[in-house]
A and B are shown apart, each in its own frame.
Chain A
Amino acid sequence: MVEPADPFSKLELELRRGAIVLAALSQLRTEQYGYSLRQALSARGMEIEEGTLYPLLRRLESQGLLTSHWRIQDGPPRRYYVLSEDGARLYARLSASWNALSGVMADLINDGAAE
Chain B
Amino acid sequence: MTPQDMIARYAHDVARRLPREMRADVSAELRALLTEELDARAGGAAPDPETARALLAGFGDPALAALNYHTPPPVIDARDTRVFGKLAATILTALAILALSVALSDPAARADAALPGRLAEGAIQFGLQILGALLILFWAIGAVRRHRPQGAWSPRALPPVRDPDVVNRPLAAVSILFWTAGLSILAAGPAKLMASVATEAAAPQLLAAFAYDPAFEAQRAPVLWTLLALSIALYAWHAVAGRRTRASRLAEAGLSLVISVALLHIVLAGAVFAAEPANEYMEFAMALTGSWGLIDSVSTLHRENRARGRQPFADVTV
Contact = CB atoms under 8 A, between A and B. Distances in A.
Given A1-B67, A2-B60, A49-B58, A54 B30 contact: yes
Chain B CB count within 10 A is highest, among A49, A52, A55, for: A55
A28 B110 CA distance: 79
Main secondary structure of the interface of B (DSSP, over half): helix
A55 B29 contact: no
Chain A CB count within 10 A is highest, among B22, B36, B40, for: B36
Given A51-B59, A54-B29, A76 B35 contact: yes
B96 interface: no
Contact of A78 (B26, B32, B37): B32
Contact of A51 (B29, B36, B40, B68): B68
B37 A35 contact: yes
B33 interface: yes
Interface residues of A, number: 18
A76 B32 contact: yes
B32 A77 contact: yes
Interface in B37-70: 37, 40, 55, 58-61, 64-65, 67-69
Given A1-B64, A76-B32, 12 more contacts: A2-B60, A2-B61, A2-B64, A34-B33, A35-B40, A49-B59, A50-B58, A52-B68, A54-B33, A55-B69, A77-B32, A79-B29
Interface of B: 22, 26, 28-30, 32-37, 40, 55, 58-61, 64-65, 67-69
